[in-house]
A and B are shown apart, each in its own frame.
Chain A
Amino acid sequence: MKPPPFEYHAPSTVAEALDLLATLEDAKVLAGGQSLIPLLNFRLASPAHLVDINGIAELDYIQERDGGVAIGAGARQSDVEEDKTVRRICPLLAQALGQVAHPVIRNRGTVCGSLAHADPAAELPAVLLAAGGEVVARSVRGERRIAAEDFFKGVFDSALRPDELLVEAWFPATPGPVALVEESRRHGDFALAGAVRSGDRLALFGVAPTPVLADPADPTRGLTPSGDLEATPAFRLHLVEVLVRKAFAS
């Protein structure tokens, strides 16, 4: 379980990183590495190039902006979780981060990396969706802001193009009642099913190829979750009912 060979690039500016992504064939961005490196170790991924963005100081920020918080691609999950601005403006994000994997993983993992990875069972994509946030994708061709509704395309698949870097995620303020409830086998595991509430908005995760918005009054409508070893479609639908009830109980 050792990574296959690759060429390693460590740009120190976003511009350098974008140049690399524009020119290199088969490059992957290495952010926190908490999902990518296991894939390398299992040799389930073998990119020709790794573009490590950890040395780009300009990406390491958490800022109040436009009535929400902007999280740079370098910001670690644990820093965002502890951040006072985040706690004040977007308590949902802070609360959700406390349920992402384990503290040691959050010390290295990044918020933007988790969004770009687009794991359908992960918390943060659903939080972005429930909160109505967006991401900023930049390339040598320019910059796009992509709303959460348009960003997640499928299992581990997003609207990000190969030459684009997800430089920032923006989470709007979540002033209303918020909740993230999920059911996982062990504490910290990926969810069998999860529900994120932001005011009256509801996003579900772990029950479709992407996080999905749902009607709190009829959350399972149109859902056709897949089955695996730990949950059948019927059990997932049952959990959705249970979790949404909990999320809206308070």
Chain B
Amino acid sequence: MTTRWFGERVLRLEDERFLRGTGLYTDDVGESALEGCFVRSPYAHARITAIDASAAKAVPGVVAVYTAADLPFGKTDLPLLIPHPSLTHGRTQKCLAYEVVRYVGEAVAFVVAESRYVAEDAADQVLVEYEPLPVVITPETAERAEQLVHADVPGNLAAELRQESGDVEVELAKAPHNLRLRLRFERGGAHPLEARAVWARWHEREGKLTVYDSTQSPTSIRGGLAMLFGLAETSVEVIAPDVGGGFGPKIMLFYPDELLVPFAAMQLGRPVKWTEDRREHFTAVNQERGQVHEVRVGYDRDGRLLALDVDFIHDAGAYTPYGIILPIITAAQVPGPYRVPSYRVRFRALYTNATPTSPYRGAGRPHACFVMERTLDAIARDLGLERAEVRRRNLLQPGDFPHEVGVGWQDGGRVVYDSGNYPALLETTLKHLGPKPPGEHVGLGLAMYVEGTGVGPYEGAHVQVLVNGQVVASTGIPTQGQGHQTVFAQVVADELGVRPEQVAVTTGDTRRFQWGVGTFASRAAVTAGNAMAVAARNVALKARRIAAEHLEVDPEDLELADGMVRVKGAPDRGLPLAAVAILSNPLRYAFGGGAEIATPFQARPRPGPPLPEGEAPGLEATGYYSPPLGSTWAAGCHAAWVAIDPDTYRLRFLKYVVTHDCGRVINPLVLEGQIQGGVAQGIGGAFYERLAYDSDGQLRNASFMEFLMPYATEVPEVEIHHQETPSPLNPLGIKGAGEAGTIPVGAMVASAIEDALGVRITEMPLSPLKLFELSRARC
């Protein structure tokens, strides 16, 4: 096997349609669909006493108005993904609110009209009477439990989980040095530039439902819709077409619209679509990151960690549709790349009257990293040591793998790091960062992280060589800009001896591949990438088998290269793949690019039936990859020189260096894009973006004018270095990389600002105002 394309900076194959504006995003599907608009709760907590939709229904152009009472599934709780024994009080919302609303933006009614303009006019006419209830908005308030989000959930406590490895109390008591920290992280949001959208059509005569959905998991949506509507799964097709960024929150089962749009399309007999606008995205789409951590750490006089105790509360929002995966990940990832001999972690997931939470790029890790890195910086300060030196003394060594952390992982297994070289990450980064640039108020930021990536249970792929020699490949996972159509083509091209541009990859379309899980948790390359390799290898095996018969050689003597199946060492003896594709299907006629070459072989008589026993027609195969429990563990180090203007408290990155290890790299170009983009999101989350709720549960900055996503002027160029420590856990030796860039940025920025200004940073995000106040308090 050659690995010619794997590792190459192949320019992306999907670019042209995006550059020409001919991509297909869900709102582009069109086809004269009716358009939906939600009536959403303006209250964070209220009882609905009456809904009157009559005026709305009378607006010309309005086709239907649905409330909970109008839905056959109106009183059904939506599913709870990933149940967990510690989630003793899981709660999910109803498709449309029934009796009570628990966050601003919760869907109350759904208007369908001839256009979105008319639907919005009518939505203003739906009269809903609310009786406001007390609002619980921060995790600290939720913990005090003076008011309840759910009347039947005492203490607002959705879940509590304790884990311990070693005897932390004993070790803390014995430790020569102890520190306590309280570290707070506020809510943030992903805000892909394409908000969410769903389009559906019911084909009455075929009894078939077609749904376009900007989801990160079309296979799950399909299964859920089939169940809900009593249809065979084979009668439901869900397509995630081009998706304008995901970053986590586009995966749910379900957002209300994912049920209502297909439901309305079936009811009304016309295509229906709903395209979320930015204002509703601010409150209707899941958020993340609100946590408060109490940390106790014990260490020796050299700064070596002895025991770590982390007790944190997690702001779950109003419901737990996504279980408690976020705090589980935080709990698992606090120790990071360091040796923590005794580790205890407890979390409590608490309900608040805010939008529910689910993973957003980083998913529990930015806060975990913040906790560990802030702790190490505090130790360095306490002992008067260099921050890099404290890390050096605590890092796991290359010989320490596999390393068991002693806590549970999101896949239900244990956290076991498979491979890595953490000291090299640190030294490479510091070397490239270089000495401190001149200037006042310049600080060094430094942070390291690990990331469990590529969780199971599995993904699959189908690869087929068409009779014209074109290769098509498909997988169940969808894509939101990660370059899957290029990197998967590279993997397949290597196995089949073709060029990547000959491989057309389809993702996230259940018509092409119906099995799979989804694009999240930095898992696509690991799971679907390896599945692509397995499927393509199966195709290559079959190609050699068929060609061997016709060329009358041993399959072992054949290789796939340059679009041919040919005899090793005798490249003139062989068949084009197109011809093999024709031969794979024993028709009595032939068409396609290899027809002339294939015809003489086809005409030759052979013993047995035309299709040999056990053989299937077509040069195609399916492959699956299911990783072992425990994930592949990527890691990295970020460091920067950061200047703070002591007058305006603006932040400027003078130099930013990342060294990243995600095992073998399929395409460095694509990987660097993921890291640079991840860092930009991290910078946004560290210094510009926050979701500012007031005590009434109103989001005070629900627009792009006030939720400050960075422009080009706020983001530096990141210098990226690759380190490749192959994962022993999968055939390609790869680890995920999608979220990595974002994870350590908050911790790194905190470290830099502390160094530059001499103030203590214990919270995220920061802002000039926050730095002004911290500086004033210090004076």
Contacts and interface: CB of A to CB of B under 8 A. Distances in A.
- Whether A and B touch (Cβ < 8 Å) is answered with yes
B278 A231 contact: no
B772 A238 contact: yes
B117 interface: yes
Nearest to B116: A2
A2 B692 contact: no
Interface centre among A5, A232, A239 (most CB of B within 10 A): A239
Interface in A209-229: 229
Given A1-B277, A242-B647, A185 B708 contact: yes
Interface string B756-773: 000000000001110011
A239 B714 contact: no
Interface in B274-313: 277-279
B713 A186 contact: yes
A189 interface: yes
B688 interface: yes
A186 B711 contact: yes
B121 A186 contact: no
Contact of B700 (A3, A43, A229): A229
B22 interface: no
Interface centre among A4, A189, A230 (most CB of B within 10 A): A230
Contacts of B701: 229
A177 interface: no
Contacts of B647: 242
Contacts of B773: 232, 235
Given A232-B769, A235-B769, A183 B711 contact: no
Interface string B698-727: 001101011010110110000000000000
Given A1-B279, A2-B117, A239-B648, A185 B711 contact: no
B772 A186 contact: no
A176 interface: no
Nearest to B124: A43
Contact of B708 (A183, A186, A232, A234): A186
A242 B647 CA distance: 6
B278 A186 contact: no
Nearest to A242: B647
Contacts of A162: none
Nearest to B276: A1
Given A185-B688, A188-B711, A5 B121 contact: yes
Nearest to B119: A2
Q: How large is the interface on B (under 10, 10 to 19, 20 to 34, 35 or more residues)?
A: 20 to 34
A42 B688 CA distance: 23
A186 B769 contact: no
Interface string A160-188: 00000000000000000000000101111
B714 A235 contact: no
A21 to B, nearest CB: 26
B140 interface: no
Interface centre among A3, A43, A234, A235 (most CB of B within 10 A): A235
B711 A230 contact: no
Given A2-B117, A5-B121, A242-B648, A186 B688 contact: yes
Given A5-B121, A187-B713, A230-B767, A42 B279 contact: yes
B14 interface: no
Contacts of B692: 229
A5 B692 CA distance: 32
A116 B202 CA distance: 51
B160 to A, nearest CB: 33
Contacts of A188: 711, 713
A155 to B, nearest CB: 16
B233 interface: no
B748 to A, nearest CB: 20
Given A1-B278, A4-B121, A189 B708 contact: yes
Interface string A25-55: 0000000000000000011000000000000
Interface in A1-28: 1-5
B86 to A, nearest CB: 35
B120 interface: yes
A186 B706 CA distance: 10
Contacts of B714: 186-187
A182 to B, nearest CB: 10
B459 to A, nearest CB: 37
A226 to B, nearest CB: 14
Interface in B570-627: none
A190 B706 CA distance: 10
Interface of B: 116-117, 120-121, 124, 277-279, 647-648, 650, 688, 692, 700-701, 703, 705-706, 708, 710-711, 713-714, 767-769, 772-773, 776
10 nearest A-B pairs in the assembled complex, by CB-CB distance: A187-B713, A1-B277, A242-B647, A2-B117, A235-B772, A183-B648, A229-B692, A185-B708, A2-B120, A235-B769
15 contacts: A1-B278, A1-B279, A4-B120, A5-B121, A185-B768, A186-B710, A186-B713, A186-B714, A187-B711, A192-B768, A230-B767, A230-B769, A231-B769, A232-B773, A242-B648
Given A1-B120, A232-B769, 14 more contacts: A1-B277, A1-B279, A2-B120, A4-B121, A43-B124, A183-B648, A185-B688, A187-B713, A188-B711, A229-B700, A235-B768, A235-B773, A238-B772, A242-B648
